[in-house]
Chains A and B, each alone.
Chain A
Amino acid sequence: MTTPDHSLAELLIVACSEVYRGNGEIVATGIGPIPRLGASLAKITHSPELMMTDGEAFLVEDPVPIGPRDYDSRKPAGYLPFSRYFDSAVWTGRRHALVSPIQIDRFGQMNLSYVGGTFEKPKVQMLGARGFPGNTIHHINSMFIPNHSKRIFVEGEVTSVSSVGYNPARRLPGANFSSVDLRFIVTNLCVMDFGGPDHAIRVVSLHDSVTLDEVREATGFELLVEGDLPTTQAPTEEQLAVIAKLDPHNIRATIIKDNPPGRRG
């Protein structure tokens, strides 16, 4: 089977779009260009029922392109300002966020807060926990990592636990963790999910010419594999055309160093 020429970034956009398949009538949020393009691609192609904002305060049925555009070019179909974001989308569980933390551990716990030093005096302050605690205890989350490495997929627990994962030691007795729902991790090497025993992280597909050894080398904890791994689906002509329209300034070409092709061989 021949597939059209495509970049790794475009392959990852398609992989990110797949995390939203069948999610129903919820807000699809992709933070950063590739996740956002993935969410928009999902809505335009396989999951039109998804809800999406223009990044400011309005719900749109035609996903807005990324990068410079006319301020008034988006067409509001609904209203979802931050002033009602927690009531409407987050705490009601009607959202799936695709985010890029600075660390992930084997329990799916993410760190966005700081690395090194202590919380009182961090060596490197990052963004802080932001919305991660509320997002992860209330709605679906997936992760996008463009530089799969042991610095991100750490050996022990993450430095600061910004989000709820599946670590039994962190499960406060009597509390309700029933809405914790981590779905997929899309990286520059592979796609993983939480489908192992006790939600253990499992490799579900490898990108073109990537080996399992390579993924394991770049991961600080054990990864489950069941049977033969498929190759991650390459973009179709139709998907590439939609992506080009959603990213008219080709911002996607600037995300991964040297903008490598999706087919390595």
Chain B
Amino acid sequence: MGFRPVTFDKRTTAADVVSRIKDGMTIGIGGWGPRRKPMTLVRELLRSPVKDLTIVAYGGPDVGMLLAAGKVKKVIYGFVSLDAIPLEPYFRKAREAGGFEVLELDEGMLQWGLKAAALRLPFLPTRVGLGTDVFVQGKFKTVTSPYDDGEVMLAMPAIPLDMALLHVHRADRIGNIQALGPDTYYDEWFAKAAKEVAVSAEEVVERMDHAYPEDVKANIFERCFVQHVVEAPLGAHPTSMPPSYGWDMKAFKAYGATAGEEGGWAKYMAETIGPDEAHYLAQMGGADAVSKLPLPIF
């Protein structure tokens, strides 16, 4: 297996990243439910003609919107939730309508499958899933320990990704990133499980070592795992991006309500998502208001 091509100026646009995504690819999306989602990249994907994607995620509005837009053949998920709205409205609607494939995983199984892919293994053993319908529904197979214990375990298959989309606070032109905030979930493993990684960032600098050397521990994965860097201020909205800004519950509720309306998605896509991020942010009250959204209380 070859390593990824090297470029030393990885800066590009969301449109360029999305042009690299082909019908039928498997795309991993970082973040966790309504938190830290690369929504600028997701919105660009919504505006593109791409279809038949397999989406791998701890899902939030990313999964709901891609389902609503008809981009999805299969979803591999640990959950699809907006937290305060426990079940993502368009995910619920799509599940109850049927017509797309799902692999419902225990939340821990998903990160285990990403770790297997990252470590270039075919599977990793676990007890998780045994004794439940997750095992049956997912058609999993078992593996037996070759040692004296002889334990039978579930063999969690690797979940290799064609591309991972992630949103971080800072990146530089050669792909050094810094992800701040109290929790970066499994972004590191999405990055390592993917053939190619596109990172959007609140801020892109020339050189991280010159700009923010004091925050180097926020470099949660190394630059060899980053191929594309896109500057996307407020690029997680409507999801949260602590410590920079919180989620937009008003926006989630308005979006969720469209799932119950005739032609709701088409209207939301045209009027709210619109042709570009400038339009979108204006619909959301402008960059200033979005940047001041309070951090959520748990």
A residues bordering B, Cβ < 8 Å? 54-58, 67-69, 71, 81-83, 86, 90-91, 113-114, 117, 119-134, 136-138, 160-165, 167, 170-177, 180
CA distance A140 to B192 in the complex (A): 32
Residues of the B chain whose Cβ atoms lie less than 8 Å from the Cβ of A91: 108, 126, 128
User: Beyond A125-B91, A162-B134, is A58–B106 a contact (Cβ under 8 Å)?
Assistant: no
Which residue from chain A places its CB closest to the CB of B187 in the assembled complex? A83
Q: A121-B96, A125-B91, A174-B150 are in contact. Are A57 and B134 (CB under 8 A)?
A: no
The reply to whether B96 and A123 contact each other, CB–CB distance below 8 Å, is yes
Sample of 27 A–B contacts (CB below 8 Å): A56-B182, A69-B297, A82-B32, A82-B185, A86-B107, A90-B108, A119-B104, A128-B77, A128-B78, A128-B80, A128-B104, A130-B107, A132-B106, A133-B128, A133-B132, A133-B134, A134-B106, A134-B128, A137-B127, A138-B128, A162-B132, A165-B131, A170-B131, A172-B130, A172-B131, A173-B152, A174-B144
**Known A82-B32, A170-B131: A125·B142 in contact at CB below 8 Å:** no
How far apart are the CA atoms of A134 and B156 in the complex, in Å? 13
Within 8 A of A (CB), among B158-207: 182-186, 188
Whether B86 lies near A127 (C-beta < 8 A) is yes
B79 part of interface (Cβ distance < 8 Å)? yes
Q: Decide: A175 and B109 in contact? CB cutoff 8 A.
A: no
Contacts of B185 in A (CB 8 A): 81-83
User: How many angstroms from the CA of A90 to the CA of B109 in the assembled complex?
Assistant: 12
Other 7 A-B pairs with CB < 8 A, given A133-B106, A136-B132: A82-B186, A91-B126, A117-B96, A127-B86, A127-B87, A160-B137, A175-B142
Query: Which chain B residues lie closer than 8 Å to A136 at the CB level?
Result: 131-132
Q: How far is the CA of A56 from the CA of B181 in the complex (A)?
A: 11
Shortest CB distance A56–B (Å)? 5
- Residues of A close to B106: CB separation below 8 A: 129-134
Nearest-CB residue, chain B, relative to A111: B133
- Chain B residues, CB < 8 A from A163: 132
Closest to B101 in A: A120
